[in-house]
Structure 1
């Protein structure tokens, strides 16, 4: 439950959520899982996929909303490393840095090298492309990717697609023709019962277009995924937990390790929010995700920063 959010407000917030998504509040943590999908803490075996999403660390940010973004990012990494299992991978969904300097990218890479996981993956945020259209980002994090940094891979029984919608944006996120063609070709040979997970920085649904919280050509990208029985899209950018289901696609926006942003319509602009003393940790966090082979839906648990 976010700071200052009553259970009535949480219920209203959940009205945006798909009817099949259940929210559980335990010890200040919001756990969401799809009916029949179990929880992220359920029993596991070698055929199941477990991974962690981290987002919006903004290394280099200076402001009252968080005077120690390096420290909070380090605590997030420690929290991942303290999990009672080793995640198959950790995905950072962008804005690793605040000003896209080489020093900030180096610091992000060095810190994430301490994650105890099978692999570390990233997608870029718009803050990772300041001044150079993402060239420094691709130099540090683009190995093995295509185009502006998009790529895909398989993990256990799941197909993962990592997209870039922050390098050609104007008001809204944008994928572009080359990347859309990549998506089409990438999934063409997959069986329709293959679970698909898509990562991006900016949401692939219209969360709040007035603030640029949408991707203008996401509809075309999603049209290539309509035939799959299970599609999950996970994004960062908005610095808050939000879930929506549209047909076979469930969208999850993640919280941040840096600072909160206002909720849509609560402020004239999405500027960093300075919370009362002691309240910041509850607004930051990491996300655990679990997929059980043979089930369509993912179990998602959003954990407040310890």
Structure 2
């Protein structure tokens, strides 16, 4: 049986201002180029590609110029989520033309919706200068935007947001990485629980899944480098043993299959 819809998700590419920029001894440009080559060589193409935040490492115009060069090689729609390392105004210029902007202000939160094959997709922006980075925060406007969808829509719904909403059991991560008011996000999702396909994000540089009240929250690996997040670690520890990765999600009428791949 063929799926109704398929999307590929990448995250946390952390492109620098030059092609030879390195982080943890890894060249993010080379990682993203390898992924794009694999993506384009696949015999079946997905319905779209979703980048769930931190396209850039430093928010520089030069890093987004490199991103534009790379994503121009993709022949399916590409959608972006704002991450804590991103420049939202510059990131917005990478947006696929099919996306519906929530605001005409280029510096406004990058929240929008799109529909495909009788499925509704909603992108939220949890970046906020009101909390220390890399924590996230859902503003009242973002919660209202979400509730407008969850309390009135009818289509199956998918939500994308860069940050995880809850603690994950690793000390530094739990103090510095989640959405500080993730409970507000969760409560706003509950009205759509019966039609919610899932909540997908990144930020952790590691695949992880959380289920609460029947809602599945899923993060994908970084397309560049990973962290360990053991339960005893009080600092982010680079994990050289775990390679770059991405997520392929397939929607069937009655279930969702999310498969992590590495390269």
Band the TM-score falls in, shorter-chain normalisation: 0.7 to 0.9
User: Partners in 1 of 2:205 and 2:187 — Cα distance?
Assistant: 27
Mapped pair 1:55 → 2:17: no
Which residue does the alignment assign to 1:33?
Answer: none
CA contact (8 A) 2:151 2:191 kept: no
Which 5+ residue runs of structure 1 have no aligned equivalent?
1-42
Q: Give the C-alpha shift of residue 167 in structure 1.
A: 3.5
What pairs up with 1:273-292 in 2 under 5 angstroms?
Answer: 273=239, 275=240, 279=241, 282-292=242-252
- When normalised by structure 2's length, the TM-score is 0.85
Per-residue CA deviation, residues 167-220 of structure 1 (Å, 9 max, x unaligned), is 3342531120111111112333212xx322111111123325534221122322
Which residue does the alignment assign to 2:92?
Answer: 138
User: Partners in 1 of 2:126 and 2:164 — Cα distance?
Assistant: 9
Per-residue CA deviation, residues 83-134 of structure 1 (Å, 9 max, x unaligned), is 33221110000111110100101211221121132x10000111114xxxx3
What pairs up with 1:288-299 in 2 under 5 angstroms?
Answer: 288-293=248-253, 295=254, 297-299=255-257
Q: Give the C-alpha shift of residue 245 in structure 1.
A: 1.0
Give the secondary structure class of the aligned counterpart of 1:77. helix
What pairs up with 1:17-56 in 2 under 5 angstroms?
Answer: 43-44=1-2, 48-56=4-12
- When normalised by structure 1's length, the TM-score is 0.73
Q: Give the C-alpha shift of residue 271 in structure 1.
A: 4.8
Which 5+ residue runs of structure 2 have no aligned equivalent?
103-107
Q: Indicate the larger mover: 139-148 or 91-100.
A: 139-148
Q: Which has the higher contact order (CA 8 A, sep 6+)?
A: 1
Query: How many pairs align?
Result: 245
Which residue does the alignment assign to 2:185?
Answer: 221
Which residue does the alignment assign to 2:115?
Answer: 154
* Aligned-CA RMSD value: 2.1
Q: Which runs of 4+ in 1 moved over 6 A?
A: none
User: Partners in 2 of 1:287 and 1:75 — Cα distance?
Assistant: 15
CA contact (8 A) 1:262 1:271 kept: yes
Mapped pair 1:104 → 2:63: yes
User: Partners in 2 of 1:181 and 1:86 — Cα distance?
Assistant: 34
Task: Give the direction of change, closer, same or farther, for the CA distance of 1:152–1:272 in structure 2 (3 Å limit).
Answer: same
Which residue does the alignment assign to 1:78?
Answer: 37
Task: Give the direction of change, closer, same or farther, for the CA distance of 1:181–1:239 in structure 2 (3 Å limit).
Answer: same
Aligned pair partner of 1:255 in 198, 204, 221:
221
Task: Give the direction of change, closer, same or farther, for the CA distance of 1:217–1:211 in structure 2 (3 Å limit).
Answer: closer
Which residue does the alignment assign to 2:261?
Answer: 303
